[in-house]
Structure 1
Amino acid sequence: MLIHGFGVDHRILLPLESALGDLAWRRIYLDLPWAENGSRKPAAGAQEVADGVVDEMRNRLGDEPFALIGNSFGGMVARHVAHTLKDQVLGLATLVSVFTAVHEDRILPPRQIIHRDPALMKAAAEGSSDFEDEAVLQTADVFAGFSEYVFPGLQGADQALMEQIAANYALDTEPELAHPQPFEAPSLHIFGRQDHVTGYEDGWAVREHYPRGTFTVLDAAGHNLHLERPALVSALIRDWIERVEIHGGSGSSAGLS
């Protein structure tokens, strides 16, 4: 399953098809409740959202093995799912995952822009302010990806429902504390060196919990790093999938559900 971040929808993860498209894995792109095509069911907070995803997995897959990819808030949810259903999980990947829910408690790098194109921002219209807030590489290609895959989700989100969830943004217990035994399936955790939203230090702090984990911090990469560094992110995901297939014995019978 591919689980998107807060305030966007499944489209933000569609660029990962460049890494997954020729694989025989079934893929389920989930829309969380606030998304345009989500359930729009009231949720009291992050824990209720995460538990709802666990229920969705059980309803869709039963006891079938699967792997997960989670982005930002979806990374926190994916870690909860992976630990709760550990016996079924072939692998876990996170992109710029939330590891510390309370923003003020996060260890964050200062805001930094590696490349700025003033002409692009002057010519850009819809979504330009949202793009500028997060983009580390402000290029035409990255803006085009943002406009296609990120901005539509921002526009379609249920703001009132997001406010409800944001008021209780943390899980009851972090997955690594709730399930202290090491997570031994192959994992991948990608961070942006210039990600001033979730950072990288908090994620690196739990690296010993993932003995089969690849942890990497990408330079010239912010919170939408898969748009800014697509080739490198794709290569890392392909490597993770190879490790998952070796660990599970075969990838074709399971799913990136």
Structure 2
Amino acid sequence: MRIAPADRTLPPSPVDPPPPGWLDGVPPGLADHLTTALGHRSAAVTTRIGEVVAAALTGDDDFLGRLRPAGFQLSDEDSAARYGGPVALLTGRQDLVAGYADQFAALERYPDGAYAVVPAAGHYLPLEQPEAFRDLVGHWLARLA
């Protein structure tokens, strides 16, 4: 994954409008983030993810403010780096935060890697589509046995 937002390959924004009231009950400071991060836009999913994200909002905003514009190289961005062990790359098709295309490109560095992109999911795939996530992880784990 590419850390600097300008370096990421992101999908287009959804063209279908979200259902009315899908952000009801979400703290105002979270609404913009969830509008970008979620691909499965429903009140139930938004409430579930809003609770998890709101509970985790204890980050260092000053540090993140310096990190995000400059970015940093992740260990798997070294084109010579390869990992031969099993890897599962799972991503949401509507992930407007990290995208899905860069993860597919990273698959070259994982010769025993599996890749799946889930429609109607964004950045919070495990919470947006828990059944699909469970099935994909279960299939991947069964393959390892």
TM-score band by shorter chain is 0.7 to 0.9
Which residue number corresponds to residue 54 of structure 2?
151
Give the distance between the partners of 2:12 and 2:48, measured in 1 at CA. Answer: 24
Q: Which consecutive unaligned segments of at least 5 residues does structure 2 have?
A: none
Alpha-carbon distance in structure 2 between the residues aligned to 1:120 and 1:105: 30
Structure number with higher strand proportion: 1
Partner of 1:134: 37
Matched, 1:107 2:12: no
Measured after TM superposition, the shift of residue 114 of structure 1 is 5.5
**TM-score, with structure 2 as normaliser:** 0.81
Matched AA of 1:109:
P
TM-score, length of structure 1 as denominator length: 0.49
Distance in 2 between residues matched to 1:113 and 1:230, nearest whole Å: 24
Number of aligned residue pairs: 143
One-letter code of the match for 1:137? H
**1:101 positional shift:** 2.2
The offset of 1:151, in angstroms, is: 1.9
Q: Give secondary structure in 1 for the equivalent of 2:120.
A: coil
Aligned residue number for residue 107 of structure 2: 207
Task: Quote the sequence identity (%).
Answer: 27
- How far apart are the structure 2 equivalents of 1:101 and 1:135? 19
Distance 1:117 1:165, change over 3 A: same
> Displacement, 1:125?
4.2
2:67 is the counterpart of 1:165: yes
Cα distance, 1:210–1:101 mapped onto 2, change above 3 Å: same
Change (3 A) 1:197 1:125: closer
Specify which of 14, 18, 42 is matched with residue 116 of structure 1: 18
Q: Deviations over 1:131-168 (max 9, x none)?
A: 223222221221122122112212x2221122233354
